[in-house]
Amino acid sequence: MRLVLNYMVVIIVITFNLLWFALTTVVGSEGVSTKINLTCSGCNVILLDIDLLRADAVGLREPHATNTPNIDNFFKNSIIFEDVSASSGVTAISNTATLMARDGFFIYDLLKNTYVDQPPQMPYKYKKLFSGLPTIAEILHGNGYETINANNGWYAGRQMLLDRGIDRYWGSGEVRATENIPAQIIGKTAEFIKEKNLDSKKFYLLMRSEDLRGLPYRYPSNRSHISDPRIQYRERSEGYFEVIYQLRPDGKLTVQFPTFAKADWMSSAQIQEYQMLSKALYAQQLAYIDEELGKLFKVLESGHLLEKTIVVLYSNHGDGLYDNNVPNHGVSYQSCVSVPVFIRHPKINKQIRISEAVALIDLIPTIYDMLSIIQPEGLDGISLINLIKGGKYSKTFFFGIDKESQYVRHGTMKLIVWADKSKELYDLEADPKELNSSH
């Protein structure tokens, strides 16, 4: 009941506030033919989830971004979504919502009542309950696909019951597990793809990399790096650094998880200083990850898989990097919920840009539609095929939630409601960085 009331309150508040603004209709996929054929029955599916990859950090989304040449080149003739919002700035909520195409509010309530924040994370007594909420892996497995999950992350795989429907699961997700070595999951995925060039069986592969997670970053010790007295590079025997730069209230560097919400214990000068530093380190890490992904892309391009494979790159949430005074992630600002989504399709040989605002939970229904697979009942995500062909987006609102805040989007308008009931309203067309709240 409380969740329903939250929905109603948020919708009422944003509707009231929208009366003060002239809404701008965002046009999507202009000039795209309605006759475009996106049906790819029996095609393989590769999902590349680069956790904490901000939309504005990728060159295909932001022309001034220069650290993703391999991503940009591989997906240059793809379906590029320019305004995608994740269900949460928190991995557990967003990742679960995305793979099940369920609303973030529903997932938040579900996890709140089933989740235990200690091993084994999700109590297995709830496995039967979750079986009624199938993941894409379960649906494709039931349609004859071999299913593989190459997973980094405590909150994104087996511990969250997201190994359901998976034939081969790589990566325990445990802290200090071997897959935490930089780019090991990306390399293992490339090896698998090389094998699949010689195999005719259709497959679904989800690779989720946490190499952009700066708690701390894991960075090869033999690679050039930023030299700065505020940064500690702690060398590990496995051949990589732990890159530590976060500041505690006592002024010491720490590997402790920084606050989800705003760094209100820092001065404006400190925030500006650490914003510049964190973005420089993020760019350094992203350039490295892009190079590793480039090796994977070369393997894909070396065989014939691309003739029968849908390849998607996305992120389940972004990272604050001190924008809006948020050092990390886990809140509803664009830095944390605006994510890239690129779909390379065997039948698409040109770039198609979709400017309409959509939800990340729409990705999986779109894949089902492309594969001509019947979707499970009750999904909150919708197929974007009609939008890609030049039609309209049929949702009026979409939502997101985390422990600190929740948001609702209506076109370019976005309302954030914080845990203390304070509100911020933004017109993202006029104020994309959410600097001037109108509420």
How would DSSP label each residue in 121-153? Answer: SS-GGGHHHHHTS--HHHHHHTTT-EEEEEE--
Strand partners, 217: 243
Sites in the chain below the pLDDT cut of 70: 1-34, 117-121, 172-180, 247-261, 439
User: pLDDT by residue (tens digit) across 343-385?
Assistant: 999 999 999 999 999 999 999 999 999 999 999 999 999 999 9
Residue 52: which domain range?
A: 2-427
Q: Around Cβ 47, how many Cβ atoms within 10 Å?
A: 22
Q: Which tokens sit at 259? A: 């606050």
Q: Which tokens sit at 43? A: 């095609």
E-strand stretches of 347-422: 352-354, 358-359, 398-401, 405-410, 413-418
Closest CA to 346 of 363, 371, 365: 371
pLDDT at position 439 is: 63
Are residues 257 and 215 in contact, defined by beta-carbon separation less than 8 angstroms? yes
Q: What phi and psi values does residue 298 have, to the nearest 5 degrees?
A: -65, -40
Report yes or no on 438 lying in a domain. Answer: no
Report yes or no on 313 lying in a domain. Answer: yes
pLDDT at position 19 is: 35
Report yes or no on 111 lying in a domain. Answer: yes
Report yes or no on 97 lying in a domain. Answer: yes
pLDDT at position 33 is: 59
Report yes or no on 434 lying in a domain. Answer: no
If you count DSSP H runs as helices and E runs as strands, how many of each does the chain have, helices first? 11, 18
Report yes or no on 315 lying in a domain. Answer: yes
Give the separation between CA 181 and CA 288, rounded to whole angstroms. Answer: 13
Total domain count, the chain: 1
Report yes or no on 43 lying in a domain. Answer: yes
pLDDT at position 199 is: 76
User: pLDDT by residue (tens digit) across 7-60?
Assistant: 444 444 444 443 333 333 333 444 555 678 999 999 999 999 999 999 999 999
Tell how strand 232-236 and strand 246-247 pair up.
Answer: unpaired
> What separation, in Å, do the N-terminal and C-terminal C-alpha atoms of the chain show?
27
Q: Is 347 left (phi over 0), alpha (psi -120 to 50) or beta?
A: alpha
Closest CA to 310 of 385, 248, 241, 370: 370
pLDDT at position 436 is: 92
Indicate if the alpha-carbon torsion angle 147, 313, 320, 86 is positive or negative: negative
pLDDT at position 249 is: 65
Report yes or no on 343 lying in a domain. Answer: yes
Q: What phi and psi values does residue 88 have, to the nearest 5 degrees?
A: -165, 160
Give the separation between CA 313 and CA 197, rounded to whole angstroms. Answer: 20
Q: Which tokens sit at 335? A: 């830095």
The domain that holds 86 is classified in CATH as: 3.40.720.10
